[in-house]
Structure 1
């Protein structure tokens, strides 16, 4: 079975407040947020996903299980997570399935990436998995099979396991034990492709761990995933704005260099500019307290001819080619270093960085469309770095998965 129930590990809601012990994915936790999570509870999962040491994480994991802070399910289950939140004044609901999914090489079967990964990050996650033998955070995957969401909605008639609110998101969790409903869900997910939305490094970590473990048992043949229908009305992709910290060009030349590829016109209304960016295929620029509308010029098409075909339809790829690389000279390797660019879905944060002198400028971008993610992945390509921000992120620590109780032979 490709997508199947598993014996999840959960916090005992009689011993902890669930909102106090869960956390966002490790890669979006700032140092300030980590301190806040540590203060919430001595059992917060941040101690496992961003530990003081791998051995320390393993000791905590085992001790929390022994003390009964964490509970193993008595039988394999699927889990349905309903997220309810507001976005731009609209009430949104997203249904996701927590399950274990059989591992297969990325892009050579039915699991597709849309981002590049970095070996240093994968090694860190692999060391953590080796030490603990557990997966604390689900990989966010997308599928297309409308019947599954309908089956997930049916479980709402049952009392939930957990119901809590965290950072503006109401999260409600149901358990679906092995049986007719779980079987129907698994059967409907046997054929569709799965596109990784978030968690590429953790997926590659699971693949590496499977190779290390070899053929003993099948726990390492699967990985914990959170699956959402890519046509769901509750699936939200936020724009990821580009904040330029430094660039290898003279600051006084910036506008002139941008005007080689863009029509630049001043804008006095931020709300209107944001609407135009999302609707009309333009970009925004914030520099020295002034806003500009940036429309790619027809003559700039030649500069895009070397891009993979599907990239030319992805706005952040166009901005990267024409503005970041073409006008400002920031190469892909420079982007990865973190010294020249920062990425944020929070436009207010991006503009504050400019106002406070931390950044030279900020580019306002539209959200990437889900169809672009699918087409680029199916074509065997990957998106530019930080092209998507799926909101809200599935929580770490809500349901965890024990891969092995003893270390893999290496």
Structure 2
């Protein structure tokens, strides 16, 4: 199998539904602790037994009954709130109008298959995929009522994230959730390969626990996730080669200082540096398209020689540690606008791999779904 190829994962058909599940939770003293990752390490078939052992030691607990959870977490001064439940993945969309969950980037089939095999061995979804949508007022009103009740859990984990959780179990409120979400559409913010793995497992084992996948649904208009850029380092490329490629596609190159470059970064303005020299790259971006699309569709293919490799970096400082004159070029990109990403996916397109970073993500272990419990 060619693991380098990228494919579009299947689309789900509506309505968008989150079902109750029996939450499995690490103790607060274990959440955010890097050593806790060993609970989900190889051999994956032993993970369930490993967590049972942890449960005996008080490190893990099962909820008493199924629920859809409202999970609020605060990290670095940003508060995010979302519904966590078992997403119905049992129906595939046959027409564009039926689609309710939209990926914004493709997946590598080999990586998705590996994750599916791992989940199948573990009989577990260790963490929810992250979905974002624009929630209706009806849903916000309902959740305001939930938040007026006592929390199910309230703690700060080892990584400094504060978590507040409400367990939604009563039939009337759950029915209200179904009604509020019936017309919603969501985009995958994080977890594309796990989403694809869910779908493969559902295809292989329909009619059981695999008909659902653990997901967290965040209202971007209520508690918005921060959208950061992911920069590129083009190994083996020089600034002169990049400037020539830019000219060949009608873009304008301007030498500048580092300060001028960072200040100029914008939707149609990119920055390039080899760590010593800097340049501003003004590119033409058609309406309803993103600059990152032009980079991968036109600019990089226009290079006289392709990069030895392309690496991805979430910060300027990290990108700069990987370049020096003659070894490569850091191509700094602007953060994408949420509405622009929505327009891209609504048009049936995907963004290039690692186009944007949604932050902050919740610590692992707050809510886990055990397929053995179902």
Residue by residue over 1:352-408, the C-alpha shift from the partner in whole angstroms, topping out at 9 and shown as x without a partner, is: 2114x79511111111222232222222221111112100123321100112359xx
Which has the higher mean CA deviation after the structures are superposed, 92-101 or 126-135?
A: 92-101
Name 2:123's counterpart in structure 1. Answer: 133
Could you say what secondary structure the match of 1:257 adopts?
A: helix
What is the match of residue 168 of structure 2? 176
Please point out which of 143, 146, 154 is paired with 2:136.
146
Structure 2: unaligned runs, 5 residues or longer: 1-14
How many residue pairs get aligned? The number is 352
> TM-score by structure 2 length?
0.83
Change in CA separation of 1:102 and 1:253 when aligned onto 2, cut-off 3 Å:
closer
Distance 1:397 1:209, change over 3 A: same
Give the CA deviation at 1:269: 4.3
Could you tell me how far apart the structure 2 residues matched to 1:292 and 1:166 are? 42
Provide the residue aligned with 2:300 in structure 1: 324
Query: 1:169-318 to 2 correspondence within 5 Å?
Result: 169-215=161-207, 218-247=208-237, 253-260=241-248, 261-270=250-259, 273-278=261-266, 281-296=268-283, 310=288, 313-318=289-294
1:74 is aligned to 2:87:
no
Q: What is the rounded CA distance, in whole Å, between the counterparts of 2:61 and 2:301 in structure 1?
A: 51
The whole-number CA distance in structure 1 between the counterparts of 2:291 and 2:108 is: 23
Which residue matches 1:387? Answer: 355
Query: What's 1:350 paired with?
Result: 319
TM-score of the aligned structures, taking structure 1 as reference length: 0.76
DSSP 3-state at the match of 1:259: helix
Distance 2:103 2:246 in 1: 32
Q: 1:8 aligns with which of 23, 28, 31?
A: 23
Q: Is the contact between residue 21 and residue 86 of structure 2 (CA under 8 Å) also seen in structure 1?
A: yes
The equivalent residue for 1:97 is 83
> CA offsets per residue over residues 321-371 of structure 1, 9 Å max, x none?
3322223554xxx8xxxx61111221110012114x795111111112222
Contact 1:243 1:343 in 2 (8 A): yes
Which deviates the most, 258-267 or 220-229? 258-267
Residues 151, 67 of structure 1: CA spacing in aligned structure 2 closer, same or farther, 3 A cutoff? same
Alignment of 1:20-31 (within 5 A): 20=33
User: What is the aligned partner in structure 2 of residue 18 from structure 1?
Assistant: 31
Q: CA RMSD in A?
A: 2.9
Asked if 1:376 corresponds to 2:362, the answer is no
Higher percent of residues as helix:
1
Q: Closer, same or farther in 2 for the Cα pair 1:113/1:254, shift >3 Å?
A: closer
- The answer to whether the Cα contact below 8 Å between 2:116 and 2:200 also exists between their aligned partners in 1 is yes
Q: Per the alignment, in what secondary structure is the counterpart of residue 323 of structure 2?
A: helix
